[in-house]
Amino acid sequence: MAKVIGAVVVDNEECKGCGLCVVACPQDALSQNKQVNGRGYHYSFMKNPQACIGCSNCATVCPDSCIVVYRVKINEVRTEPVLVS
Amino acid sequence: MNLADIINPNNLVYEKPKLLTENTMHYCPGCSHGVVHKLLAEVILDLDIQEKTIGVSPVGCAVFAYNYIEIDWQEAAHGRAPAVATGIARCNPDKVVFTYQGDGDLASIGAAEILHACNRGENIVVIFVNNGIYGMTGGQMAPTTLIGQVTATTPNGRDAGRNGYPLKITELIAQLPGTSYVTRQSVHTPASIRKCKKAISKAFQAAIDKKGTSFVEVVSTCNMNWKLSPVKANEWMVDNMFPFYQPGDLKDSTKTDPASYTPLKN
Ligand SMILES: Cc1ncc(C[n+]2csc(CCOP(=O)(O)OP(=O)(O)O)c2C)c(N)n1
Ligand code: SF4
Ligand code: SF4
Ligand code: SF4
Ligand SMILES: [Mg+2]
Closest approach of chain B CAs to the CA of A13, in angstroms? 10
Q: Is residue A85 part of a domain?
A: no
Rg (CA), chain A: 17
pLDDT confidence of residue A83 = 61
Residue-wise pLDDT for B161-186, tens only, equals 999 999 999 999 999 999 999 999 99
CB-nearest partner of A63 from B27, B190, B194: B27
Q: Give how many domains chain B has, as a whole number.
A: 1
Residues 17-76 of B with CB under 8 A from A: 17, 20, 24-25, 27-35, 38
pLDDT at B117: 98
Collapse the DSSP code of B223 into the 3-class scheme (helix H, G, I; strand E, B; otherwise coil) and give the result. Answer: helix
Q: Which residues of A touch B11 (CB under 8 A)?
A: 54, 70-72
Better-scored residue on pLDDT, A84 or B211? B211
Q: Hey, are the CB atoms on A59 and B14 less than 8 Å from each other?
A: yes
Residue A55 lies in a domain: yes
Q: Total structural domains in chain A?
A: 1
A66 touches chain B (CB under 8 A): yes
Q: Does A79 fall in a domain?
A: no
Asked if B193 lies within 8 A of A18 by C-beta distance, the reply is no
Cα B41 from Cα B20, distance rounded (Å): 6
C-alpha pair distances (Å), B210 with each of B49, B203, B215: 15, 11, 14
Cβ atoms of B165 and B127 closer than 8 Å: no
Residue B58 in any domain: the answer is yes
What gap in Å lies between CA B203 and CA A62, rounded to an integer? Answer: 23
Q: Which chain A residues are within 8 Å of B27, Cβ to Cβ?
A: 63
Name the phi and psi angles at B109, rounded to 5: -65, -30
Asked if residue B173 belongs to a domain, the reply is yes
Task: Please give the ipTM for the structure prediction.
Answer: 0.93
- Give me the residue from A5, A17, A68 closest to B1, CB to CB: A5
| Residue B89 falls inside a structural domain | yes
Residue B245 exposure: Cα atoms within 13 Å on the Cβ side = 32
Q: Confirm whether A77 is domain-assigned.
A: no
The answer as to whether B97 is a domain residue is: yes
Q: Which one-letter amino acid corresponds to residue B197?
A: K
Q: Cα(B71)–Cα(B25) distance, rounded to whole angstroms?
A: 16
Q: Residue B53: give its domain's CATH number.
A: 3.40.50.970
Question: Which pLDDT does position B263 carry in this prediction?
Answer: 47
Ligand 4 atom with minimal separation from the B226 CA:
2
Q: Tell me whether residue B87 is in a domain.
A: yes
- Average pLDDT on A6-17 reads 98
The confidence band for B3, taking pLDDT boundaries of 50, 70 and 90, is: confident
User: Over the Cα atoms of chain B, what is R_g?
Assistant: 18
Q: Which residues form the domain of B197?
A: 24-252
pLDDT-derived band of residue B254, with 50, 70 and 90 as boundaries? confident
The CATH number that applies at residue A40 is 3.30.70.20
What's the rounded mean pLDDT across residues A35-45?
98
Q: What is the pLDDT of residue B2?
A: 85
Q: How far is CA B14 from CA A36, A57, B214, in A?
A: 25, 10, 28
Q: How far apart are CA A23 and CA B16, in angstroms?
A: 20
The verdict on a CB contact (< 8 Å) between B30 and A59 is no
Please provide the size of chain A in residues. 85
pLDDT digits (tens, 9 = 90+) for B21-61: 999 999 999 999 999 999 999 999 999 999 999 999 999 99
Angle at B236 between CA B231 and CA B240, to 5 degrees: 160
Q: Is the pLDDT of residue B265 over 60?
A: no
Check residue B29 and give its pLDDT: 98
Q: pLDDT (tens digit, 9 = 90+) per residue, B133-152?
A: 999 999 999 999 999 999 99
Give me the domain span that covers residue A47: 2-72
**Nearest Cα residue to atom 1 of ligand 4:** B135
Phi/psi class of residue B139: alpha, beta or left (left: φ > 0; alpha: ψ in -120 to 50)? left
For B204, the 3-state DSSP assignment is helix
pLDDT, mean over chain B? 95
- Look at residue B79 in the predicted model and tell me its pLDDT: 98
Instruction: Using alpha carbons, list the distances in angstroms from residue B168 to B105, B116, B175, B229.
Output: 14, 16, 12, 26
DSSP per-residue codes, B21-62 = -SSPP-SPTT-HHHHHHHHHHHHHHHTT-TTTEEEEE-SSGG
CB-based contact B100:B220 (threshold 8 Å): no
Q: Which residues contact B262 (CB under 8 A, 6 or more apart)?
A: none
What is the C-alpha to C-alpha distance for residues B155 and A29, in angstroms, rounded to an integer?
40
Neighbours of B161 (CB within 10 A): 5
Question: How many whole angstroms separate alpha carbon B66 and alpha carbon B74?
Answer: 8
Element containing residue A10 per DSSP (H, E): strand A2-10
